[in-house]
Amino acid sequence: MQPYELTLTAAAEAIRTRRLSPVELTDSVLERIAQREPDLHAYVSVAADRARSAARDAERDIAADRRRGPLHGIPAGLKDLIDVAGSATTASSRVRAGHRASTDSTVAARLARAGAVLLGKTHTHEFAYGLTTPQTHNAWDTDRVAGGSSGGSAVAVAAGMATFALGTDTGGSIRVPSALNGVVGLKPTYGLLPRRGVTSLSWSLDHVGPITRTVEDAALVLTALAGHDRRDPATLSAPAKDYRPRAGTDLTGLRVGVPRTYYFDHVDPETEEAVRRAIDQLRDLGARLVEVEIPMTRYVQAIQWGLMVPEATAYHEHTLRTVPDLYQADVRVLLEAGELMTAGDYLRAQRARTLMRQAWARMFTEVDLVAAPAVPATAVRAGQETITWADGSVESVSDAYVRLSSPANITGAPSLSLPVGHDSTGLPIGMQLLGRPLEEDVLLRAGHAYEQTRPASALAHAA
């Protein structure tokens, strides 16, 4: 096994025991980038010299017994919405050409404090306003979409071009590309990770989170990044916590909700079969399966778009009026649509969100988590605009991909996407676990237990 193939957990242990150096790991990942990036286009920019310098610094610190923790010396990619002092943050848009951050975002500063090695910035759908990241190709099949908007981060991790990466999630933008590329994506509770210095799409829906190869890896990153930031009024004052799941696979006593409605409607049969098989595996590990009715499903997309569209347009108001031609056509249309929405529309969406949060809180008195498909189908071919379901109905690709992920953004609940198999063409299938706010540890425990039952080959990244 080459160093770039290691999980974060395995690489951290190899570095701790001096069987691997940060320089060796970083060089291996950079060589992998040189090999695969021309086909995948996961990165906006790669700072190879800066990464090698940081790796050498980490190696010296560790040799002098100044190891900072499991992220020390680990190479990572950052979605190109996340500010790093002295580096460009373009949001994969011509609107931001030449923009350079003057200070670190909070999450970048915390990664630096933990000793992580920054490789570069990964592509996003322009300003995170889309679900495909069209410039990036799927790590398993370059003729298919990467998913978005954190497509570059998910592809980099899946292809061995980063040991872990950070993304953002407004309607599924961490979990969708993670599912489509066979990696783990965690959207934490709203406000658990600070967003200061992260370009916004929708203030009340945006989340920052990790994309990794395993659930344990995601827990390590979350532990390093979570915590209040007084400069971000949306962050929570939750106490610091070690999110690493305990060893073992016993889930006795855990109540797993299985949706009767919504999450298995208009889902590809192979996806449904793989996810239900994974849910049965949770039962075999001791969990109790409980059928649940998902509340307020008929309003999900209206609430999501009713909040996101006007908030995005408000954020882009100045540049939309001064340099509209610099936006990609699909993003510009959505931003212009936001100017047509009334204050009444927005306020009704806000009120409906409050009702939905209350209804979901009642649902979570019956179960500890809900298990469901992360996306209703595997990666579509690049340029494909619609999906036709078995009953003959047609749905746009964006609506299909966001439909199952956006409820966690509306409610602010944590959601973990993890791979549970492949379809008949070899494309990854993802399951998501949804839980109560600030109970990431419950999701990580269940996801880690399930993961331990899978053969090592099932956890391998894309070739």
Q: What residues act catalytically?
A: 79, 149, 173
The span from the CA of 276 to the CA of 278, in Å, is 5
The span from the CA of 313 to the CA of 340, in Å, is 10
The span from the CA of 392 to the CA of 381, in Å, is 19
The span from the CA of 124 to the CA of 42, in Å, is 9
Q: Where are the beta strands (DSSP E) in 80-152?
A: 117-122
- Cα dihedral across residues 3, 241, 405, 256: positive or negative: positive
The span from the CA of 120 to the CA of 108, in Å, is 12
Residues in contact with 190: Cβ distance below 8 Å, sequence separation at least 6, in sequence order: 207, 234, 409, 412, 437
- Cα dihedral across residues 78, 79, 83, 87: positive or negative: positive
Residues in contact with 25: Cβ distance below 8 Å, sequence separation at least 6, in sequence order: 3, 4, 6, 11, 15, 55, 73, 74, 75, 163
Structure tokens at 312: 């995005």
Structure tokens at 454: 């899978």
Residues in contact with 365: Cβ distance below 8 Å, sequence separation at least 6, in sequence order: none
Rounded to 10 degrees, the C-alpha dihedral 85/118/113/184 comes to 120
Structure tokens at 430: 């993802």
The span from the CA of 250 to the CA of 445, in Å, is 10
The span from the CA of 320 to the CA of 416, in Å, is 34
Per-residue buried b or exposed e for 231-262, using 16+ beta carbons within 10 Å of the residue's own CB: ebeebbeeeeeebbbeeebebeebbbbbbeeb
The CA distances from residue 228 to 84, 239, 384, 425, in Å, are 19, 8, 41, 44
The span from the CA of 404 to the CA of 415, in Å, is 11
Q: Where are the beta strands (DSSP E) in 220-365?
A: 255-259, 288-292
